[in-house]
Structure 1
Amino acid sequence: MRRIEHPGPADSERMTAIAGSAVPLRFVLEPGLAVDAAIAAGLTRAGCIGGFVEFRGGRCEPFRYVMPAASSDPRYVAWYSETFEPVGPVNVERACAIIGVRDGKIFLHCHGIWETSEGKRMGHMLAPLCRVAETIEVSGIGFKDATFEAMPDMETNFTLFEPVRSVGSRPLNMNAQVLLARIRPNQDISIAIEGICLQHGIERAKVYGIGSLNGVHFSDGSQLESHATEVLIHDGRLEDEDGQARARLAIDVVDMNGVIASGVINRGDNPVCVTFELVIKALGG
C-alpha cells in the first residue's frame, strides 16, 4: 500500500476513538450569518459541544474555499491552494462539517462539493468567510459530553482534530452506540474503521466523515494518483459480508489539480494522507 513519510515522529497509536452521548441534530442556518457562526448557534441551542452536520443543498454568498496542494515547506508533505473566491452566489450540493473546538471556541472542518459561476468545484470550505444567503437546513449528530479538539500534531506538523471527552463527564460503556474517531497517516481507511468498530462491539454502522487520502483507488478500477486529496464520505457503512463486518465507503474527492471523482473505494488500498475524522453510529439488528 502507498505510504507517505511525514517529517515528525509517528505516534504509536494510529487510531483514536471515544464514545459519546449523542443526540440527533436538525436546525437551520440563518441568512446573514457566517457559516461557522450559524452552525455554532445551532449546536449551542442543542446543548452540544461537538459532532457533525451535513449540508444537502444551500446557498452562500460570499463563499471562499481552498483545495489540496503540494507544499514548498519541508515541514509539511502537503498544503493548501490559494483561496478561491467565486463571483456571485454558490450552491452547496453536499458537504459535511466536523464540529469541534479550537482555542476555546467552536471550530469547523468542512469538505464539500458546490456549484459556482465557473462550474462544479470541491474543496475545504473556509466557514468564517462564507455567509449564509438563504435559510439552510442541516442535520447530523451532536455530542453533549465529547468533541473534537484541535491540537498540535508532531507527526504532520499540522494542528488537527482529536476526539476528547469533556472534563468531568462520566465514562461510557465500551459498547457505546456512537463514536468520535480519528485515523492517522498510512492506515487504510476502511480497515481502520473495521478495527475501531470491532474494538467497540459494533457490527453494523453508518459512517460519516472527512479527511485526506494518499491517492484514491476506486472499486471500478479508476484512480486518482494525487498524494494529497480532500475527501468527503457521502455514503459510509459497516455491513456484514460473508460473516465479516466490512466497511463500504462511497466518497467524493478532489485532487491537487481540481479533478473531482466519486465512487466506492477499494478496501485495503486507500491510506490516509494527513488525517481522517469520523463519526460512527451503530445500527441495530
Structure 2
Amino acid sequence: MRRIDHPGPVAVERYVAVSGAAVPIRFVLEPGLAVDEAVAAGMREAGCIGGFVEFRGGRCEPFRYVMPAASSDPRYVAWYSETFEPDGLVDVTRACAIVGVREGKAFLHCHGIWDTIKGQRMGHMLAPLSRVAEPIDVTGIGFRDATFEAMPDPETNFTLFEPVRHAGAGSPKAGAPVLLAKVRPNQDISFAIEEICSQHGIASAHIYGIGSLNGVRFVDGARVDSHATEVLIRTGHFASLDGQTSARLTLDVVDMDGVISSGEIVRGDNPVCVTFELVVEALGN
C-alpha cells in the first residue's frame, strides 16, 4: 500500500475514537450569514457542541474554496491551492462538514461539490468567507458531550481536528453508540473503520466523514494517482457477519488538478494522506 512520510514523529495511536450522546439534527442556514456562523447558530439551537452536517443543495454568494496542492515547504507533504473565488451564485450540490472547535470558537472542516458559472468544481469550502444567499436545509448528527477540537499535530505539522469528550460530561446515554473518530496517515481507511467498530462492539453502522487520501483505488478499476486529495464519504456502511467485518465506502474525490472522481473504493488500498475525520452511527446494537 502507498505510504507518505510526514516530517514529524509518528504518533503511536493510529486512530482515536470517543463515544458521545448524539442526536439527529436538522436546521436551516439563514441568508446573510457566513456559512460557519449559520451552522454554529443551528448547532447552538440544537444544544450541540460538535458533530457532522450535510448540505444537499443550497446557494452561496460570495463563495470561496481551495483544492489540494503540492507543498513547496518541507514542513508539509501537501498544502492548499490558491483561493478560488467564483463569480455569482454558487450552487452547493453536496457538501459534508465536521463541526468542532478551534481557538474557543465553532469551526467547520467542509468538503463538497458545487456548480459555478465555469462548471462543476470540488474542494475545501472556506466557510468563514462563504455567505448563505438563500435558506439552506442541513441535516446531520450532533453531540452534546463530545466534539472535535483543533489541535497542533506534530506528525503532520498541521492543526487538525481531534475527537474529545467534553470536560465534565458524564457517560454517554444508553443506546446504540455513536463515535467521533480520527484516522492518522498511512492507515487504510476501510480497515481503520473496521478496527474502530470492532473495538467498540459495533456490529453494523452508517459511516460519515471527510478527509484526504494518498491516491484512490476504486473497485471498478479506476484510480486517482494524486498523492493529496480531498474526499467526502457519499455513502458509508460497516457490517460484521459471522466474524467477518467489512466497510464499504462510496466517495467523491478531487485531486490536485481539480479532476473529480466518484465511486466505491477498494478495501485495503486507500491510505490516509493527512487525516480523516469520521462519525460512526451504530445501527441496532
Query: Do the structures match in fold with TM over 0.5?
Result: yes
Relative to structure 1, the CA distance from residue 173 to residue 45 in structure 2 (aligned partners, 3 Å threshold; closer, same or farther) is closer
Runs (4+) of structure 1 moved beyond 6 Å? none
Whether the aligned pair in 2 keeps the contact of 1:20 and 1:176 (CA below 8 Å) is no
Q: Is contact 1:96–1:112 with CA below 8 Å preserved after alignment?
A: yes
In the aligned structure 2, how far is the partner of 1:277 from the partner of 1:43?
Answer: 18
1:123 match: 123
Shift of 1:170: 1.2
Residue aligning to 2:227: 227
Amino acid at match of 2:20: G
In the alignment, does 2:39 pair up with 1:45? Answer: no
Aligned to 2:107: 107
- Please show how residues 127-142 of structure 1 align to structure 2 within 5 Å: 127-142=127-142
1:15, 1:183 within 8 Å by CA — same for their partners in 2? yes
Q: Distance in 1 between matches of 2:278 and 2:46?
A: 20
How much does 1:242 deviate?
6.4
- Counterpart CA distance in 1 for 2:3 and 2:243 is 30
Does residue 182 (structure 1) correspond to residue 176 (structure 2)? The answer is no
Structure 2 SS opposite 1:201: coil
* Number of residue pairs matched by the alignment: 285
**Residues 122-167 of structure 1: CA deviation (Å, up to 9, x unaligned):** 0000000000010000000000000000000000000000000111
CA distance in structure 2 between the partners assigned to 1:243 and 1:90 by the alignment = 46
Q: Deviations over 1:204-260 (max 9, x none)?
A: 100000000000000000100000000000100012466522100000000000010
**How far, CA to CA, are the matches of 2:171 and 2:271 in structure 1?**
31
**Hey, what does 1:57 align to over in structure 2?**
57
Structure 1 residues 22-66: Cα deviation after superposition (integer angstroms, max 9, x where no partner): 011000000111000000000001111000100000000110000
1:262 maps to 262
Partner of 1:211: 211
Distance in 2, matches of 1:262 and 1:198, equals 27
> Alignment RMSD, CA only?
1.3
Q: Aligned partners of 2:278, 2:190: CA distance in 1, in Å?
A: 12
| Aligned-pair CA distance for 1:268 | 0.2
Instruction: Please give the TM-score of this superposition, normalised by the length of structure 2.
Output: 0.98
| Distance (whole Å) between structure 1 residues aligned to residue 77 and residue 244 of structure 2 | 35
Secondary structure at 1:193 match in 2? helix
Match of 2:83 in 1: 83
Q: Matched residues in 2 for 1:224 and 1:106: separation?
A: 33
Structure 1 counterpart of 2:15, which letter?
A: M
Identity value in percent = 74
TM-score, normalised to structure 1's length? 0.98
Distance in 2 between residues matched to 1:275 and 1:150, nearest whole Å: 12
Contact 2:210 2:232 in 1 (8 A): yes
The residue aligned with 2:198 is 198
